[in-house]
Each structure stands twice: as C-alpha cells, then as structure tokens.
C-alpha cells in the first residue's frame, strides 16, 4: 500500500500485489483505502516496485542526463510547467519527495531498467551532503521558512532571510505564518475520538484544506487520525513544507558545471521540444512495458498516476490519453528513434515490444488496454 506525497492531499493510493499476497488481505487493504477516501490503482509487482515511482525514475534519469548536456534544474522545470503545463517541475517534485528517498528507490531497481550511462552524480553528491530537498531546506532548490529540527541540522532555517540576497523578509514571514498551525487535541469531543464522524471535528485547525473526495466526506480521515496521535491537551505546531517559498540555488548550478567539466561534456543548448520529449517518451515507453507485462491492467490507471502523482496536466487527459490523442504511436516511435540515434543507446531507451506491436496492429492504448481486455 503506497501513498504518494502529499499523502494527506493526494486522492490516490497504489496497492502493489506481490505473488505471496492473499486475496483476503488484498480485499481488506482495498476496503481500508475506501474508508480513507482514496482512489485505488491496483498493480502487480514481483519485486515490490511501484508504477508511479518507476515512471518518475525514468523521467528523472533523462532530467539528470540533461543537466550534464546543458540544462539547469529551473530550466527543465520551467519548460515542463510553462510550456507543457505540468503542475510541478520534476526537480521540484524530487525535492518534495526527498532526494534520499529517490536514491533508495534507484538502488532497488532491477538491473537494466534504466539506461547504462551513470547520470546521477550531482544527485548523489547532494544526498551525501544531506541536501535532500524541502525537509532539509535545500536540494535542487533552496527553501525559505522555518524547518523542523533534525539530528543533522539541529533545527532552524539553514538559510535565514537576513543573509539571503534573493530573499524577501515580508514574503517569508507570510509563508511561515501560513505554514504554522496549532491543533488543540484536548478540545476534540470524546465521541469524535471514538469513531468516524462525517462532520469536521470542533475547534481543530488543520495545516491544509481537506479535500472532498465525495459529497459525503467533509474532512480528510488521514489528517483526523494522525491528529489523534498527538498528545492530548497539548498545543502542537505543525509545519507544512509545501507553503515554504522556493529560492534559486546557485550552489547546485556550480556543482552541475563542475560535473560536466569533470566528465568532459561540451554543454549545449537544449530546446523546449527536446526537454518535453525526453521526459514524456521514456515514461510512455515504461508505462507500455508495465501494461504489456500485466503489471497494471488499464491505461486509465496510468493516466490517474500521471496526473495525481507526477503532476501531468489533467486537462490533457493523462499520459497515455495524450499519447493516443495527440502524439500517436507512429510519432512516438519516430521520435524515440531520433532521440536514440542522437543521444546514444547508453542514454535513451529503445522502444519496448508493446509499442512495436501496437504500431503493427494499428492499436491505441485505449483499444489495446481497456479494463484489462485486449481489443
């Protein structure tokens, strides 16, 4: 059962069924997800991997390769958000999840799942320096606002506004004020503690606006049950990291330039079209592989994951809907062939067998994978 961040807000949960998973256990987990008002994406995994994580990793591989070739993180993210309308940039998303978390996910990948060239040098250096994203105040970007204390940092903001030339004290104070919420657990009625209620608890201010998943759910049960874990009768300060303000990180750019120089790469201009293709095409290819292997049943499940996990623009229908209705299998394969010839076999993946079969049979994702039934 895999919750995607932010777990309190995301309407989706991925349930990965292992070969040893019992039917009764699976049904109980699905029922629990329903009680939490989460939409379930059911996948099958032999190694415990998750669809959303793997799609993100193949995109991050290309994003990190583009850092070596000539881009900076804000340039990749800017194209994805402003040109293609992603809700969040890919490096921003990794900062939110944690570079250390994604490094652990990479380490657990089966051999051969990513291209051969090693491209995560800068990311690994940041993890080694404990600059793993928002939770430490710095990753691909820097973040202003008071951080929760940690054994490594000892608490406090690692980048105070008074010494930040790019900062704005007024804006920082507003962001910090918005992120601080006090919850008086002792004021929650005893009856509400004992069971589920369809009404919002009295005298509780949450650090985020609960999402309505249906007309009958007025509050987020994950937020509610987590709040019950806090000591009764005490005021607790909750920090919402997503309300922290983002600051350009010149230090990361220096690391990237140094890494390109060490590897002997001649940095070049990378067009907006290439950035979008190098992010989208490998994700489409990996999604097709999962569908072909029966790891996920429906193309629509991939679309849900792409929108609610990866920030793909929902108004474009999702990753595979976009592949069907805008790109088409022929164009996808043609662009992948061009990218592979231009970048090399050790950087860009080859089209999977499923895409080649779909081209031969003139099928779309919607026709080939519709509720698990082959058209």
Q: Give the Å distances, CA to CA, from 62 to 66, 90, 92, 119, 352.
A: 6, 11, 15, 8, 17
Q: How far apart are CA 118 and CA 131, in angstroms?
A: 20
What is the model's pLDDT at position 1? 74
The reply to whether CATH 1.10.1040.50 applies to domain 2-126+252-368 is: yes
Q: Measure the CA angle with vertex 258, ends 137 and 99; round to 5°.
A: 35
The structure tokens listed for 215 are 């007309």
What is the model's pLDDT at position 30? 85
68-93 pLDDT per residue, tens: 999 999 999 999 999 999 999 999 99
What is the model's pLDDT at position 146? 55
The structure tokens listed for 255 are 């690391």
**Do 234 and 253 meet the contact criterion of CB atoms below 8 Å apart?**
no
Q: Where are the alpha helices (DSSP H) in 115-271?
A: 121-128, 169-179, 190-194, 221-228, 250-263
CB atoms within 10 A of CB 187: 12
Sequence-separated contacts (24+) of 3-8 with Cβ below 8 Å: 3/38, 4/52, 4/308, 4/309, 5/96, 5/97, 6/96, 6/208, 6/242, 7/222, 8/208, 8/220, 8/222, 8/223, 8/226
Residue 211, burial from CB neighbour count under 10 angstroms (0-12, 13-18, 19+): middle
Sign (positive or negative) of CA dihedral 181, 187, 193, 199: negative
92-120 pLDDT per residue, tens: 999 999 999 999 999 988 888 899 999 99
Residue 62, burial from CB neighbour count under 10 angstroms (0-12, 13-18, 19+): buried
Q: Where are the alpha helices (DSSP H) in the chain?
A: 23-35, 51-69, 73-78, 90-97, 99-107, 121-128, 169-179, 190-194, 221-228, 250-263, 272-292, 299-308, 319-322, 329-343, 353-361, 365-368
Distance from chain centroid for Cα 3: 11
Q: To which residue do tokens 């490096």 refer?
A: 91
Domain boundaries, the chain: 2-126+252-368, 175-241
What is the model's pLDDT at position 207? 37
353-362 pLDDT per residue, tens: 999 999 999 9
Helix axes 121-128, 99-107, angle to 10 degrees: 120
Distance between terminal CA atoms of the chain? 30
What is the model's pLDDT at position 357? 95
Residue 108's contacts (CB-CB under 8 Å, 6 or more residues apart) are 47, 48, 49
What is the model's pLDDT at position 29? 86
**Residue ranges of the chain with pLDDT lower than 70?**
47-48, 146-243, 371-375
Count H helices, E strands: the chain?
16, 7
What is the model's pLDDT at position 94? 96
């Amino acid at each position: 059962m895999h919750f995607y961040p932010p777990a309190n807000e995301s309407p989706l949960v991925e349930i990965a069924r292992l070969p040893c998973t019992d039917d009764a256990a699976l049904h109980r987990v699905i029922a629990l997800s329903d009680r939490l008002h989460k939409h379930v994406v059911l996948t099958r995994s032999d190694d415990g991997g998750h669809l959303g994580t793997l799609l993100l990793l193949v995109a991050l591989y290309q994003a990190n390769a583009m850092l070596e070739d000539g881009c900076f993180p804000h340039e990749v993210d800017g194209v994805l958000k402003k040109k293609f309308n992603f809700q969040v940039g890919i490096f921003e998303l990794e900062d939110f999840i944690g570079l250390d978390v994604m490094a652990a996910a990479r380490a657990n990948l089966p051999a051969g799942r990513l291209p051969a060239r090693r491209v995560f040098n800068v990311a690994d250096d940041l993890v080694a320096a404990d600059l793993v994203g928002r939770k430490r105040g710095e990753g691909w970007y820097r973040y202003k606002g008071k951080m929760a204390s940690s054994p490594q940092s000892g608490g406090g903001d690692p980048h105070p506004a008074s010494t930040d030339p790019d900062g704005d004290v007024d804006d920082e104070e507003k962001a910090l004020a918005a992120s601080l919420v006090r919850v008086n657990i002792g004021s929650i009625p005893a009856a509400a503690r004992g069971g589920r209620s369809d009404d919002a608890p009295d005298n509780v201010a949450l650090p985020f606006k609960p999402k309505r998943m249906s007309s009958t759910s007025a509050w987020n049960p994950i937020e509610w049950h987590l709040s019950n874990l806090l000591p009764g009768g005490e005021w607790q300060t909750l920090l919402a990291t997503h309300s922290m303000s983002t600051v350009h990180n010149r230090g990361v750019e220096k690391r990237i330039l140094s890494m390109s120089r060490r590897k002997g790469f001649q940095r070049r201009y990378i067009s907006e079209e290439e950035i979008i293709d190098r992010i989208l095409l490998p994700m489409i290819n990996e999604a097709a592989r999962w569908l072909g292997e029966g790891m996920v049943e429906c193309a629509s499940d991939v679309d849900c994951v792409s929108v609610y996990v990866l920030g793909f623009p929902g108004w474009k229908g999702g990753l595979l809907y976009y592949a069907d209705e805008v790109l088409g299998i022929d164009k996808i394969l043609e662009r992948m062939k061009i990218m592979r010839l231009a970048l090399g076999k050790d950087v860009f993946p080859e089209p999977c067998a499923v895409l080649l079969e779909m081209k031969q049979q003139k099928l779309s994702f919607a026709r080939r994978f519709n509720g698990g039934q082959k058209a």
